[in-house]
Structure 1
Amino acid sequence: MSKQSWLKAAWPPVVVVMVLLLVWQLAAMWWHVPGWLLPTPLQIIHEGINAYSRLWMHTASTIQITLIGFSIGVGVGLVMACMLHMVPGFKSGFYPLLILSQNIPTIALAPLLIIWFGFGLLPKIIVITLVCFFPITIATLDGFMQTDRHMYSYMKLIGASRKQIFFKLELPNALPFVFSGLKISATYSVMGAVIAEWLGSGEGIGTYMMLQKASYRADREFVAIFIIICLSLLFFGLITLLEKLIIRWNTKA
């Protein structure tokens, strides 16, 4: 996408967000809404600037566990997808269990992880991994299933091995689907990190939100929400950029 096309696509949502913020600011001022109940955007910005150093400490901690959990989730998701696709009988046996695993609320599983692994880093990483691996697994499997059957038959006809078919045809064909899963998981990973920090942590955006909730500081809660949104958009943008660099042959990327 060219720079002009990108700007043309980006300005409508930016304008909508600015209008909504303006309406929020004017409405809160007009009806004299107390700041502890609903702070104005200007109050939120002011608080974010004043608490910058403390917020950066919490944000850095959240970024760290997000990257670790996301990396592990990506690895688990890709390995799981390849095994489901390549190993005979593996998909029929484990695919239903994979679906069932996503019906267990993460917040309900969290106390068990604390009992089993304590309050350290490991249960938080497990939470993020559980959130991230499923979209990658499903998207990659879908990519394998979308392989051109005519090309598949042709490669078998000329004597290509199963390994050659996988690495030269199925895997390249699945890459756009893999990146679709990565984009979803990248945004989920931040949410998973915040939930993990709610379980008990000395620092992190999730911990910061819990402390401010107890203090009825709505302005700081909104600052934390803004940081979460920015981190999600940042990770999504980085995955999109990586997709454009790797899949140059995909004109839709």
Structure 2
Amino acid sequence: MNTKMQTAQRWFLGAFSLLVFLLVWELLVRTMHVRPITLPPPSAVLGELFGEWQFYLDHAGYTLLTTLAGFILAALIGVLLATMLVGSKLFEHTVYPLIIGLNSVPKVAIAPLFVIWLGTGSEPKIAIAFLIAVFAVIVDAVHGLRSVPGDVLDLGRVLRGSRLDFFFKVRLPGALPSILAGMKVAISLALVGAIVGEFVASQRGLGYVILSAQGTFDTTRVFAAVIVLAIMGLGLYGALALAERRLTPWR
């Protein structure tokens, strides 16, 4: 079976299982007479989505932009910090414990501080998304940079290139699979960070939609926003998985 057929089969099985899940959900809710405020049927949630698609698209766009901004910052700064950690023992011994300590602090606990420092615009959401996502990039990038095979490193030294050439032509390509794996984790964490920021202080975004719908017990709207978030998360992860296949064809 070729790759395209395998991919099509996976998509078909995934779509079929999702359809079965939705049908069972709809059937159970209606036969057991569950109140919509407790658990709305999928038909009501889909009706909410299609009926108010512009509303959800606007808020999803805001959440997407803050997520991508936080993720890009986490990717750039995370790889830079990982490079410095691998290249300098002094930097590793002084900075790495601080990074681990910051990562151990619950981000929800310090989210209000970002609102105090940065205001109620998009900046605190980007900062929280960055803070939650950056550690995953650092850990996997450090692992990748240190896992380059010894014979590859020896070959690079024999060729006697500059340290910059050695990094970009030997270490970075060898570490790229690990770095991209960390980024696939980080993009999901950045989305979580953006939602946390919108929970704390926001007038836009899917996190704001969920929080305001909770206040009015609009369970259907909560489920609709969660579905949009799930689709967004799958799309972002899929985009990075595609980039991984394109950038590391040898894998």
TM interval, shorter chain, is over 0.9
Aligned to 2:200: 199
Q: Measure, in 2, the Cα distance between the counterparts of 1:49 and 1:133.
A: 35
Does structure 1 residue 151 correspond to structure 2 residue 187?
no
Q: Measure, in 1, the Cα distance between the counterparts of 2:91 and 2:151.
A: 25
Q: Measure, in 2, the Cα distance between the counterparts of 1:51 and 1:159.
A: 62
Amino acid at match of 1:191: V
Aligned to 1:140: 141
Question: How far 1:217 sits from its partner (Å)?
Answer: 0.6
Q: CA RMSD in A?
A: 1.6
| Secondary structure in 2 matching 1:32 | coil
Question: How far 1:89 sits from its partner (Å)?
Answer: 1.5
Give the TM-score normalised by structure 1: 0.93
Q: Measure, in 2, the Cα distance between the counterparts of 1:96 and 1:10.
A: 43
Aligned to 2:59: 58
Q: Which runs of 5+ in 1 are unaligned?
A: none
Aligned to 1:128: 129
Q: Measure, in 2, the Cα distance between the counterparts of 1:236 and 1:154.
A: 35
Answer with 82-91 or 221-230: which moved more.
82-91
Aligned to 1:68: 69
Q: Measure, in 2, the Cα distance between the counterparts of 1:233 and 1:164.
A: 36
Give the TM-score normalised by structure 2: 0.94
| Secondary structure in 2 matching 1:89 | helix
Q: Measure, in 2, the Cα distance between the counterparts of 1:117 and 1:192.
A: 15
| Secondary structure in 2 matching 1:34 | coil
Amino acid at match of 2:13: P
Aligned length: 250
Aligned to 2:79: 78
Question: How far 1:11 sits from its partner (Å)?
Answer: 3.0
Answer with 9-18 or 59-68: which moved more.
9-18
Q: Measure, in 2, the Cα distance between the counterparts of 1:9 and 1:146.
A: 32
Aligned to 1:7: 8
Deviations 1:56-115 (A, max 9, x none): 111111111112111111111111111111123211222222222211111101111122
Amino acid at match of 2:165: Q
Q: Measure, in 2, the Cα distance between the counterparts of 1:66 and 1:161.
A: 37
| Secondary structure in 2 matching 1:195 | helix
Amino acid at match of 1:246: L
Question: How far 1:124 sits from its partner (Å)?
Answer: 1.3
